A and B are shown apart, each in its own frame.
Chain A
Amino acid sequence: MLTNSKMPPLPSNDKRWRIVTGTMRRHGFARDALIETLHTVQEYFGYLDKPSLRFVAASLHVPLSQAYGVATFYHYFTLKPPGKHTCLVCLGTACYITGAGQLLAAAEASLNVKAGETTPDGNVSLVSARCIGSCSMAPALIFDGETAGNVSETVLRNKLQGWNN
Chain B
Amino acid sequence: MTFEELEQIATDARAAKETFPRALNVCVAAGCLSLHSDAIKSALEKEVRRRGANCRVAGTGCMGLCSLGPLVTREPDGHLLKNVAESDAPEIVAKLNSAMPERLLYSRDQPFFQRQTAIVLENSGRIDPEKIEEYIAAYGYQALLHALTDLTPAQIVQEVSKSGLRGRGGAGYPTGLKWGTVAKTIGTTKYVICNADEGDPGAFMDRSVLESDPHRVLEGMIVAGYAVGANLGYIYVRAEYPLAIKRLQVAIRDARRLGFLGSQICNTKFSFDIEIRIGGGAFVCGEETALIASIEGRRGTPRPRPPFPAQSGLWEMPTLINNVESFANIPTILRRGGEWYASLGTNKSKGTKVFALCGKVRNVGLIEVPMGTPLRQIIFDIGGGVPEGHRFKAVQTGGPSGGCIPEQFLDLPVDYESLKEVGSIMGSGGMIVMDDSACMVNVARYFMEFCMSESCGKCIPCRAGTAQMFELLTRMTNGTAKLNDLDLLEELCDMVSSTSLCGLGQSAPNPVLSTLRYFREEYMEHIVRKHCRAGVCECNKLAEVSA
Contacts and interface: CB of A to CB of B under 8 A. Distances in A.
Q: Do A and B interact?
A: yes
Given A33-B297, A73-B299, A136-B364, A130 B204 contact: no
Contacts of B203: 131, 133, 135
Contact of B298 (A36, A70, A92, A93): A70
Contacts of B78: none
B215 interface: no
Contacts of B198: 133
Interface in B425-449: 430, 432, 434, 437-438, 443, 446-447
A134 B30 contact: yes
A36 B282 CA distance: 15
Interface in A69-111: 69-70, 73-77, 91-94, 96-98
Contact of A94 (B239, B358, B447): B358
A72 to B, nearest CB: 9
Contacts of B450: 130
B443 A133 contact: no
A64 interface: no
Contacts of B356: 135
A74 B446 contact: no
Interface of B: 30-31, 34-35, 66-67, 69, 198-204, 207, 239-241, 277-283, 294-300, 356, 358-360, 364-365, 396, 399, 430, 432, 434, 437-438, 443, 446-447, 450, 454, 456
Contacts of A136: 31, 66-67, 69, 204, 358, 364-365
B297 A130 contact: no
B69 A92 contact: no
Nearest to B280: A74
A10 interface: no
B297 A31 contact: yes
Contacts of B66: 136-137
* A31, A66, A97, A136 interface centre (most CB from chain B within 10 Å): A136
A144 interface: no
A74 B300 contact: yes
A93 B200 CA distance: 9
Contacts of B241: 133
Contacts of A76: 239-240, 279-281
Contacts of A132: 240
16 contacts: A31-B297, A73-B280, A76-B239, A77-B280, A93-B202, A93-B399, A94-B359, A97-B360, A131-B200, A131-B203, A133-B207, A133-B240, A136-B69, A137-B34, A138-B358, A138-B359
A92 B202 contact: yes
A146 interface: yes
A91 B34 contact: no
Interface residues of A, number: 40
A131 to B, nearest CB: 4
Contacts of B31: 134, 136-137
A94 B433 CA distance: 8
A32 interface: yes
A109 B279 CA distance: 31
B69 A70 contact: no
A7 interface: no
Contacts of B454: 130
Given A93-B399, A129-B240, A131-B200, A73 B69 contact: no
Contacts of B434: 97
Nearest to A69: B299
Nearest to A31: B297
Given A34-B297, A34-B298, A97-B434, 10 more contacts: A38-B280, A75-B280, A76-B280, A91-B201, A93-B396, A93-B432, A96-B201, A130-B281, A130-B450, A137-B66
A146 B281 CA distance: 19
A73 B282 contact: yes
Contact of A39 (B207, B239, B396): B239
A34 B356 CA distance: 33
B240 A97 contact: no
A155 interface: no
A160 interface: no
Report, nearest first, the 7 A-B pairs whose CB atoms are least far apart.
Answer: A74-B280, A136-B66, A147-B34, A93-B202, A76-B281, A92-B201, A32-B297
Given A93-B430, A133-B198, A148 B34 contact: yes
A137 to B, nearest CB: 7
Contact of A97 (B200, B298, B443): B443
A149 interface: yes
A42 to B, nearest CB: 9
Contacts of B199: 130-131
A75 B300 CA distance: 12
A9 B35 CA distance: 45
Nearest to A30: B297
A157 B199 CA distance: 29
Contacts of A97: 359-360, 432, 434, 437-438, 443
Nearest to A101: B446
A19 interface: no
A148 to B, nearest CB: 7
Interface in A105-141: 129-138, 140
A70 B299 contact: yes
B269 to A, nearest CB: 26
B458 to A, nearest CB: 11
A35 B360 CA distance: 38
Interface string A17-60: 00000000000001111111011000000000000000000000
